[in-house]
Structure 1
């Protein structure tokens, strides 16, 4: 089943402070989509609104033309999986049992041999079988992030949401995690939507980029059309040189543009 995700006129805020304003997008199935923007632009908030961790105050999120606000959490978990930042969640269990939690939308709390087979399948896919009996809290940041991705994958949802999946990781582990996400999108034919700070990682790995500023979508499309010198200057207040490498934009920041952020 191929799932299309849509946001229509979505708003979110705290009291009188608007975080998201009139957000509209449509994401085709089996794509890797990255949401970029400066701190406070609404990237993580948008991810959390899609997953209903936060409740939008206006508009709607549609999955396969179904409004997520009318789904039970268990039904929604069959469509959407969520990978938090690695530093956000600590599980007092071993890796195998942490990943097995992802099967709950299908089995409740009681697992079966088939569910355990699914866990081993994902462990092999991510090449982390050796960590199966390790304590989650004792893993490195990169290893924890792989386990969180594995927990989302074993859920067998059509859309995987990731909130800053490379935060607090060194460059080797950033590439490792991004390669895993890209490969999973292709092999499993799912859609991945992630919030990301690094424009070069976003440019290299994404099929589509959504650039946000102050809660609004400023640009959306393929990396070449979104990652431009003009958009970087407008949104980040940074003068940058953008060059093409293997048909992907590569960004070299040059200097700050002084004055109030746009």
Structure 2
């Protein structure tokens, strides 16, 4: 079984410690959502898992193989990575961008199988009508869906997504997360996504990874992790947390008490 192992990981940017002493085991067939306040190292952790940011200390292992500068190409061969920045100035169509998901196996000529697989992904995501559109002319949300199609076509063993729904409307947020959840189980992927929407994370993630104050604050099923006390401590907001009909936590933020309003005697005429 391919397991992603994170041992005593320490991430540092400049003179700032982002993550200290992180230990995790992530198993296939499960969607892991990384949550936490801004500046707690969520994106940095994904970059480290992709081999883009070298840890100060610690070790990463995927199905028994360590990540090192010498083995970076082999490490990334099994990874699909979708960064947060979706700006694409390439003179390519949406279909061509999706086909690049098979870059490691493409030759000078595209096979009919590659094209059919790319079209199938676009169709499944409901964006087949964008196939011949230049990707630089697409909206931010459309580019996100196209890039998501690219990582799906790659058929990775480890899938890393940094805020994949940030530019999507509600319909496409649900569509992307449904595809991600379903394919993670069917393809037996290890999927890791940074999400800011805690309700979306609770609805779709099998396991939440909570980062805060430079350390792992909690890891486990949403119903165990998303308590009002933990959310209020990390995010400094008041919340009401209740379980829905499926036993999943649903969060509602609460406004601070309003200042006393002037009474009739205080109103000048």
TM-score by length of 1: 0.90
Structure 1 segment 144-155 matched on structure 2, within 5 A: 144-155=143-154
Q: Distance in 2 between matches of 1:177 and 1:154?
A: 14
Conserved? CA contact 2:144–2:167, under 8 Å = no
- Superposed displacement of residue 88, structure 1: 4.0
Q: Distance in 1 between matches of 2:86 and 2:111?
A: 30
The answer for the alignment partner of 2:24 in structure 1 is 25
Alignment of 1:29-108 (within 5 A): 29-69=28-68, 72-85=71-84, 87-107=86-106
The unaligned stretches of length 5 or more in structure 1 are: 258-262
2:131 corresponds to 1:132: yes
Q: Which residue of 1 aligns with 2:234?
A: 235
Distance in 1 between the 2:11 and 2:108 partners? 33
User: Which residue of the partner structure matches residue 247 of structure 1?
Assistant: 247
Alpha-carbon distance in 2 for matches of 1:72, 1:132: 35
Q: Which residue of 1 aligns with 2:261?
A: none
Deviations 1:8-64 (A, max 9, x none): 111111232111111111111111110000000111111111001211111011101
The runs of 4+ residues in structure 1 deviating greater than 6 Å are none
The alpha carbon displacement at 1:110 in A equals 5.5
Q: Is the 8 A contact 1:86 1:148 kept in 2?
A: no
Question: Is residue 123 of structure 2 the alignment partner of residue 120 of structure 1?
Answer: no
Residue aligned with 1:157, SS: coil
Q: 134-143 or 217-226, which moves further after superposition?
A: 134-143
Between stretches 97-106 and 164-173, larger displacement belongs to: 164-173
Asked whether the 8 Å contact 2:51–2:76 carries over to 1, the reply is no
Q: Which residue of 2 aligns with 1:260?
A: none
Alpha-carbon distance change, 224 to 63 in structure 1, aligned in 2, over 3 angstroms: same
Shift of 1:244: 0.4
Q: 1:71 to 1:129 in 2, by over 3 A?
A: farther
The residue that corresponds to 1:193 in the other structure is: 192
Give the Cα separation in 1 of the matches to 2:168 and 2:190: 23
- Residue of structure 2 equivalent to 1:180: 179
Measure, in 1, the Cα distance between the counterparts of 2:59 and 2:107: 28
8 Å contact kept, 2:20–2:214: yes
What SS does structure 2 have at the residue aligned with 1:154? helix
Q: 8 Å contact 1:75–1:105 — kept in the other structure?
A: no
TM-score with structure 2 length normalisation? 0.88
> Given the superposition, is the C-alpha separation of residues 108 and 14 from structure 1 closer, same or farther in structure 2, using an over 3 Å criterion?
farther
How many residues are treated as equivalent by the alignment? Answer: 256
Kept in 2, the 8 Å contact 1:74–1:105? The answer is no
Shift of the 233–166 alpha-carbon distance from structure 1 to 2, 3 Å rule, reads same
Change beyond 3 A, Cα 1:60–1:228:
same
Structure 2 residue ranges without an equivalent (≥5): 258-269
1: CA distance, partners of 2:24 / 2:109? 38
